[in-house]
Structure 1
């Protein structure tokens, strides 16, 4: 069996799907979505096509090492997202060829189902409460929300009260909540906000500071009992290494479409386990990325919870991870959990006709510019 074709598709709302076909007609799907930079990832696939068409799709680790090391310029969001999409597709092919789910090839189940959380929005406590009730009606037990919508690098301490009120509105609905800081605020502001949130016992605070501020994160980690989560902007085990060694993070959030795919995230998770750090993959993406996350979650001991973009998420125009699936029922949420997929490979049947149709007009999605009342650009 040889790789005969590698195709990429930019599909709405902002995703990049990867289709790999073998010379005997077997097809695997991956997702190399890098929000706002789909064209760059598509360009990176030109060298991957040159190198891997005609090679053995079963040699997943050799493909990974070759793609990572022989490009000379290693890592980074663009190259690693392209490699992620290819890696997922090869695991999908191998599982289909052998007639087993990907999680079976990763060592088998350590759990039968995967707990998931979904995003909620809202600027006022009543809006947040309504959004939380809607997620509860979808059977979620946990949600994630923006903690810093109105906050700048250094805001008035009075602005922090609104964050606490919105978080309380979620807790009042009987749901657990994680709060995403987006790395938006100055360290003293993050410290104050964490202290105010501690009595609410949130699941985690996400990116309380930007990942490049390792020293600030180390200081903050020693000042709060709330679990610190980060990692969506880290792309390899080498990126995660200083955070684990420094005791900075409690929950890592690698994105399987950015951080080297299934192969690398399994390695990152194993490394994290040695530091008593949990895994909660980042995934505001489509069905292939989510299926890859489920495969890792089902087979990884230190996994805790999975992000799921069910319904509108970050202005997606009504598209979500169910849009491109022929059988959306495999991602049904029951009591907060999604059952492990049982089909071969990643276990999802992608509507290829719809993918090809919508990809005729590339989405050209760009990150929205978030600005504070004074016009200052804020982290997204």
Structure 2
């Protein structure tokens, strides 16, 4: 079998409510769907998060073609080494989502060619379903409280809330509202996205801990691991690395510095599913659990990650997905997509050959059209945030 072409389709899918973080907002997400064609008539599916933009991903995919077309897609290690070493892509950075999408499509092809689900190649199912957190993206405390009620009513076990407001009192008010709405049994994870200095992080976490935090994600810069270790040593809530831990090399450094109690990993930021499995192994050797991060993804990338998580014991916390925000998806059936497709915050592991999901052509056409006409509405370039000239850290 040989790869004959790579086809890419950017799509924009709206949220039901804006995704808000410390430095802006967006009203939906953009992903680039990738189809890898072969000379045997099989097509593999992949998906690249539009990070830092869809244009960057499309440019990377175009540059990848000479390294990929003509290759055997079932020799995945060899193909990725060709990209990394011959193509000198081993310092990937912003090009990583494109590489990950191609690698995912090759796993899909392998599964389809063998009639087996992808998780069979990663050790087989350790669990039959995968837990994801409920993303609470509401602004004011009343809306946060109501979203907490929605999460509890849907049976979710973990709520995720962004912090890092201009004033600490705003964060405290929102976390208190979430606890009130979600009830005493809900795990609450907060994420500052590096918005705080060490002193501000200590004050914030101590002010929020009375509301019962599960994890505090990346409260300070991910580029200063000594700073992270300092904060970790002075709070009671476990610290989750994210911006500090996007690649296996980053994760190893985090562990060596004792800078986190749990580590976030993302196949999109480190070249694919095999490296996601490797990340979990590195963390397991250090006695540290791993959490799946998402830059914003639809059903193809979500299914791919679900296969690896299902086959890997060290994913012990709820993982990141966008079911609480998405209005729709681009795959057939009920995998991924809006919250009503989840059961108690969980998704079943797909059992069909390969990734076990198929694109819905009508939805792909619809959301590809939306990307063409309104892509600028789906970025984090919030005009209000731009006028405030934001900088890290905020306080």
Q: TM-score, normalised by structure 1?
A: 0.89
Change in 2 beyond 3 A, CA 1:127/1:163:
closer
Change in 2 beyond 3 A, CA 1:140/1:29:
same
Q: Deviations over 1:279-305 (max 9, x none)?
A: 211123111111111111101111022
Q: Is the Cα contact below 8 Å between 1:11 and 1:355 reproduced in 2?
A: yes
Q: Deviations over 1:231-256 (max 9, x none)?
A: 35644211221101111122222222
Query: Would you say 1:348 and 2:347 are equivalent positions?
Result: no
Q: Where do 1:130-169 residues align within 5 Å?
A: 130-148=146-164, 150-151=165-166, 155=167, 158-159=169-170, 161-169=172-180
For 2:202 and 2:386, locate their aligned partners in 1 and report how far apart those are by CA, in whole Å.
Answer: 22
> Who is 2:2 aligned against?
2
Q: Is the Cα contact below 8 Å between 1:32 and 1:258 reproduced in 2?
A: no
Q: Is the Cα contact below 8 Å between 1:2 and 1:57 reproduced in 2?
A: yes
Q: Is the Cα contact below 8 Å between 2:266 and 2:293 reproduced in 1?
A: yes
Q: Deviations over 1:184-219 (max 9, x none)?
A: 122111111112222333221111112112221010
Residue 73 of structure 1, CA deviation: 4.9
Change in 2 beyond 3 A, CA 1:375/1:79:
closer
Given the alignment, which residue of 215, 219, 228 partners 1:217?
Answer: 228
Structure 2: which 5+ runs fail to align? 14-29
Given the alignment, which residue of 307, 315, 335 partners 1:295?
Answer: 307
> Who is 1:275 aligned against?
286
Change in 2 beyond 3 A, CA 1:115/1:311:
closer
Change in 2 beyond 3 A, CA 1:298/1:249:
same
For 1:374 and 1:92, locate their aligned partners in 2 and report how far apart those are by CA, in whole Å.
Answer: 44
Q: Is the Cα contact below 8 Å between 1:112 and 1:298 reproduced in 2?
A: yes
The alignment of Structure 1 onto Structure 2 pairs a total of residues equal to 368
Structure 1: which 5+ runs fail to align? none
For 1:87 and 1:73, locate their aligned partners in 2 and report how far apart those are by CA, in whole Å.
Answer: 14
Query: Would you say 1:245 and 2:256 are equivalent positions?
Result: yes
CA RMSD of aligned residues (A): 2.4
Residue 278 of structure 1, CA deviation: 1.1
Q: Which moved more, 1:199-208 or 1:293-302?
A: 199-208
Q: Is the Cα contact below 8 Å between 1:180 and 1:205 reproduced in 2?
A: yes
Q: Which moved more, 1:197-206 or 1:259-268?
A: 197-206
Query: Would you say 1:334 and 2:343 are equivalent positions?
Result: yes
Q: Is the Cα contact below 8 Å between 2:291 and 2:315 reproduced in 1?
A: yes
For 1:85 and 1:265, locate their aligned partners in 2 and report how far apart those are by CA, in whole Å.
Answer: 13
Q: TM-score, normalised by structure 2?
A: 0.86
Q: Which moved more, 1:161-170 or 1:293-302?
A: 161-170
For 2:67 and 2:92, locate their aligned partners in 1 and report how far apart those are by CA, in whole Å.
Answer: 19
Instruction: Name the one with the larger helix percent.
Output: 2
Given the alignment, which residue of 79, 85, 89 partners 1:69?
Answer: 85
Query: Would you say 1:324 and 2:325 are equivalent positions?
Result: no
For 1:87 and 1:298, locate their aligned partners in 2 and report how far apart those are by CA, in whole Å.
Answer: 19
For 1:291 and 1:273, locate their aligned partners in 2 and report how far apart those are by CA, in whole Å.
Answer: 23
Residue 26 of structure 1, CA deviation: 0.7
Q: Find the residue that maps to 1:28 and give its secondary structure.
A: strand
Q: Is the Cα contact below 8 Å between 1:34 and 1:257 reproduced in 2?
A: no
> Who is 1:286 aligned against?
298
> Who is 2:325 aligned against?
312
